[in-house]
């Protein structure tokens, strides 16, 4: 049996970060992964989808050419060429998905699914290996709702969606979270007729309802058919057509589609791990960890999506660095997670970015807050770019400290980090408003959004 100082199960953003940082200590590290290095984000999530989203956005710019003083262009996108471009981008980012660089650095790579035999033993494809310390970083997989007939009719998830050979003429998306809305818009722009069904009352249920409502309006302008507050009851197929029956209150809705994309959330793939053999406890389908990301077993930690905290690659990387420290720290030196400032983005067009508390979350905590709003139509750079759709919504405390912000608009993915830094530094509205911002830039929107909280000119 092979012996290692550290075994990392899962080679996504969190697992590889732990492995790379731990290796700097000169220890022996084994990596267990059934796929390629980089995890779902690299091959089925962030990298391919953002490539497709950018292509769809460029296509939209071309269609809007007259708005920029350019002649109208009749363009017919070739789906196979778009997907080929996406695959090239994935290969560039992931170095072709090769394990060779990792093996050259001295990592021992086991290709397969890991299963605990005991607290220190893991089996991979019949090989038994022993680890003094172990980190679980198995990520998540699509959660498929138990809808009558869905399994028999068939469906795709984000995994199959980025491997399609042909664009479906009609696509029905189950779920209006970030994955569902990103795919809905990009496939619409590429030429599909898209319908979205969501159980909650508004799209992007974790976002501010007011801002999400604005985004819904923009998406519906692109002829995306969105239905919220619906429950899908059943699915059946006749010929090549899939029929979906849904309930909206006491109404029954019927939809016809060529393909169904399930984007109804994520779940941790814990069944294959046999966690009971190691004594690792679960918490409602996620791996139970403390504030140092240690599990119920002292020498086993968990990082990334499988902890169920924030399902983002950048959070997995943060957790990975923290655990890489805690693996070798004494108890009093162990670092604790700090999720006070976690920015995230839904990459629709316009993008929706968020950090800190929403208005409702602040109220739920019993906080007395003020709310400020600014429309991008009031930002001169947005006018010059012909990108006036969107708004900023800022939540501040009684002492004017910034508690949260939601940005819906051009380059929201970049602008949100000014708010994130302000929250991290404990800045108030006057601090941001008094800082000089370059003109004409979109960043002025951040500054102007502070005017709502000021009583005098700055």
| Segment 253-276, tens digit of pLDDT | 999 999 999 999 999 999 999 999
Q: Which of 40, 16, 129, 2 is nearest to 311 (CA)?
A: 40
Q: Does residue 454 register a pLDDT over 90?
A: no
- Quote the CA–CA distance of 345 and 182 in Å, as a whole number: 11
Cross-sheet strand order for the sheet of 193-198: 225-228, 193-198, 170-174, 259-262
DSSP string, 361-419: HHHHTT--EEEEEEEGGG-HHHHHHT----EEEEEEETT-BEEEEEEEETTHHHHHHHH
Which residues of 268-343 form beta strands (DSSP E)? 282-283, 286-287, 300-302
Residue 66 is classified by DSSP as G
φ, ψ of residue 111 to 5 degrees: the values are -95, 105
Q: Does residue 457 register a pLDDT over 60?
A: no
Average pLDDT over the chain reads 96
Strands 193-198 and 170-174: parallel
- Quote the CA–CA distance of 43 and 37 in Å, as a whole number: 10
Query: What pTM value is reported for the model?
Result: 0.95
- Quote the CA–CA distance of 17 and 31 in Å, as a whole number: 11
pLDDT (mean) for 156-173: 98
In this prediction, residue 452 has a pLDDT band, given cuts at 50, 70 and 90, of: confident
pLDDT of residue 384: 96
Q: Mapping DSSP to helix (H, G, I), strand (E, B) and coil, where does residue 247 land? A: strand
Q: What is the largest CA-CA distance in the chain?
A: 72
Q: How many Cβ atoms are within 10 Å of 119's Cβ, its own excluded?
A: 15
Find the helix or strand (DSSP H, E) in which 153 lies: helix 150-153
pLDDT digits (tens, 9 = 90+) for 214-242: 999 999 999 999 999 999 999 999 999 99
Q: State the angle between helix axes of 46-63 and 178-190 in degrees (0 to 180), rounded to the nearest 10.
A: 40
pLDDT digits (tens, 9 = 90+) for 50-101: 999 999 999 999 999 999 999 999 999 999 999 999 999 999 999 999 999 9
Find the helix or strand (DSSP H, E) in which 20 lies: helix 13-23
Residue 114 is classified by DSSP as E
φ, ψ of residue 181 to 5 degrees: the values are -75, -35
In this prediction, residue 456 has a pLDDT band, given cuts at 50, 70 and 90, of: low
> In this structure, what is the dihedral angle of CA atoms 19, 23, 29, 31, given to the nearest 10 degrees?
30
- Quote the CA–CA distance of 329 and 201 in Å, as a whole number: 46
pLDDT of residue 458: 46
pLDDT digits (tens, 9 = 90+) for 17-26: 999 999 999 9
pLDDT of residue 455: 64
pLDDT of residue 86: 98
Percentage with pLDDT > 70 across the chain: 99
Q: Which domains does the chain have, with CATH numbers?
A: 2-141+267-333 (3.50.50.60), 150-264 (3.50.50.60), 344-453 (3.30.390.30)
pLDDT (mean) for 416-420: 98
Q: Which of 178, 230, 173, 232 is nearest to 204 (CA)?
A: 178
CA angle (201 as vertex; 196, 207 as ends), nearest 5: 90
Q: Does residue 286 register a pLDDT over 60?
A: yes
pLDDT digits (tens, 9 = 90+) for 296-351: 999 999 999 999 999 999 999 999 999 999 999 876 789 999 999 999 999 999 99
């Amino acid at each position: 049996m092979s012996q290692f100082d550290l075994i990392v199960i899962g080679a996504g953003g969190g697992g590889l970060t732990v492995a790379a940082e731990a290796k700097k200590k000169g220890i022996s590290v084994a990596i267990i992964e059934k796929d390629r290095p980089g995890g779902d984000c690299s091959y089925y999530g962030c990298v391919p989808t953002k490539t497709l989203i950018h292509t769809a956005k460029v296509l939209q710019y071309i269609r809007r050419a007259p708005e920029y003083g350019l002649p109208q262009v009749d363009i017919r996108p070739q789906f196979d060429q778009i997907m080929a471009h996406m695959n090239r981008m994935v290969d560039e980012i992931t170095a072709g998905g090769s394990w060779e660089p990792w093996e050259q650095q001295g990592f021992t790579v086991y290709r397969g699914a890991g299963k605990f035999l005991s607290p220190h033993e893991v089996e991979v494809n019949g090989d038994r290996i022993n680890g003094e310390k172990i980190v679980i970083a198995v990520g998540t997989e699509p959660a498929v709702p138990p809808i009558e007939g869905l399994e028999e009719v068939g469906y795709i998830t984000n995994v199959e969606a980025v491997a399609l050979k042909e664009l479906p003429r009609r696509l029905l998306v189950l779920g209006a979270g970030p994955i569902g809305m990103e795919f809905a818009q990009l496939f619409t722009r590429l030429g599909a007729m898209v319908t979205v069904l969501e159980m909650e009352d508004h799209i992007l249920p974790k976002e501010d309802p007011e801002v999400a409502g604005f985004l819904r309006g923009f998406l519906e302008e692109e002829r995306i058919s969105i239905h919220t507050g619906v429950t899908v009851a059943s699915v059946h197929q006749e010929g090549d057509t899939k029929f979906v029956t849904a309930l909206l209150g006491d109404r029954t809705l019927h939809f016809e589609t060529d393909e169904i994309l399930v984007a109804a959330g994520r779940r941790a793939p814990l069944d294959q791990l046999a966690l009971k053999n190691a004594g690792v406890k679960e918490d409602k389908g996620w791996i139970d960890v403390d504030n140092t990301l240690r599990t119920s077993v002292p020498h086993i930690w968990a990082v990334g999506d499988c902890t169920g905290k924030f399902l983002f690659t950048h959070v997995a990387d943060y957790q990975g660095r923290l655990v890489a420290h805690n693996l070798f720290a004494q108890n009093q030196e162990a670092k604790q997670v700090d999720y006070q400032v976690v920015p995230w983005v839904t990459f629709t067009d316009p993008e929706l970015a968020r950090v800190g508390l929403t208005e409702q979350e602040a109220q739920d905590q019993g906080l007395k807050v003020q709310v400020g709003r600014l429309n991008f139509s009031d930002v001169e750079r947005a006018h010059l770019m012909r990108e006036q759709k969107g708004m900023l919504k800022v939540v501040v405390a009684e002492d004017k400290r910034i508690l949260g912000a939601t940005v819906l608009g051009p380059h929201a993915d970049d602008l949100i980090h000014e708010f994130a830094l302000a929250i991290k530094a404990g800045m108030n509205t006057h601090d941001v408003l008094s800082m000089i911002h370059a003109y004409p830039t979109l960043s002025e929107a951040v500054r102007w959004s502070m005017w709502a909280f000021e009583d005098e000119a700055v």
